[in-house]
Amino acid sequence: MSERKTDAEYLRTVEIPERASGRRLDLFLATRFRTLSRAAAARAIRSGEVHSSERSLKPSSLLRAGEVLHIGIAGFAPDGPPPVFPTILYEDDRILALDKPAGLLVHPAGDRWAWAVIGMVKEARPDDRVDLVHRLDRDTSGILVLTKDPATNVWLKEHFRSRSEALAKEYIAVVKGLPDWDHKEVEAPLGEHPSSEVRLRRGVRADGQRAWTTMRVLARTPEQGLSLVACRIHTGRTHQIRVHLEHVGHPILGDKLYGEPDDTFLEWLEEGATARVRARVGFPRQCLHAARLRLPHPDGATIDLEAPLPADMAALVAGQRPEWPEDAT
């Protein structure tokens, strides 16, 4: 799937796969976008919000494999231009490493339209078989690695999965409080949180999976009650850094899930960034940045990557507290 601009309108393009050949257009759209009813799809087709460069369309049109649909249905298509392409940290004929900004999805989720790194890169590198090697949360900024061919993707994913010694990751976080330590080894097993109402929340528990994080304090800002902490992860558990920082009493600034009671996260999920949520979490996003990554290359070399601290986190370290943007959710 890719995006393009046509007649000052930003449209979503969908290429019809072989398996959908011969299906009715309205039924295909209602199946492809599960929150779009067949009746709504038919109305959109009749109003010209779905068209093909090859022919005129109606709800009963039978699809052809390889045909490209141009979709402008509100909520299912872009409402403006794409964001600025992420800064390229490294690129060769097999690997691409980007500095992903906070707020940009790595991969789209659900039916509703959202710009995402994978679609932007596929649009920019149409001759390559682009795929993700790993993911970052929407809120997390920093180093993101993609590959340009399937063999390299499988090879690198195995290194990430097995926590290969050739691989080293370091994240930097702005945390609440002033640690009374400069260096800390945290080995605390992780699993489902034993008492949380939020199913995705993880917690430290004796019967959990082994999790090991090395932490070191880089800077403290006593006037703000914040610290800058580097975290090297030796295991790759879900939300590992966020849980371990909460566990040692210094949750990440802006984290709506960890370091907060369940009702803060649930209120944000249901109502957005209310005044109460803003006051509790203190910042629009979790201040976590994938700063350094060492990874092997299939040709035998080693790649050392570094992404500079983003402006919002750098401002916090400098003693500034930027205003929460009015449109932040």
Report pLDDT digits (tens) over 29-54.
999 888 889 999 999 999 999 988 88
Query: Which pTM does this prediction carry?
Result: 0.81
pLDDT in tens, 167-220: 899 999 999 999 999 999 999 999 999 888 888 899 999 999 999 999 999 999
Q: Across residues 115-119, what is the average pLDDT?
A: 88
DSSP conformation class of 18: G
What pLDDT does residue 155 have?
Answer: 95
Strands 226-233 and 131-132 turn out to be: unpaired
Question: Which pair of tokens denotes residue 304?
Answer: 């050392």
Q: Is the pLDDT of residue 318 over 60?
A: yes
Reference 171, options 116, 230, 90; nearest CA is: 230
Q: First-to-last CA distance in the chain?
A: 26
What pLDDT does residue 191 have?
Answer: 93
What pLDDT does residue 251 have?
Answer: 97
pLDDT in tens, 203-216: 999 999 999 999 99
Kindly name the residue from 99, 131, 137, 304 that is annotated as catalytic.
137
Inter-residue contact 104 to 83 (CB < 8 Å): yes
Question: Which pair of tokens denotes residue 38?
Answer: 């067949």
- Residue 7 bears catalytic tag: no
Where do the domains of the chain lie, and which CATH numbers do they carry?
2-71 (3.10.290.10), 87-317 (3.30.2350.10)
What pLDDT does residue 327 have?
Answer: 55
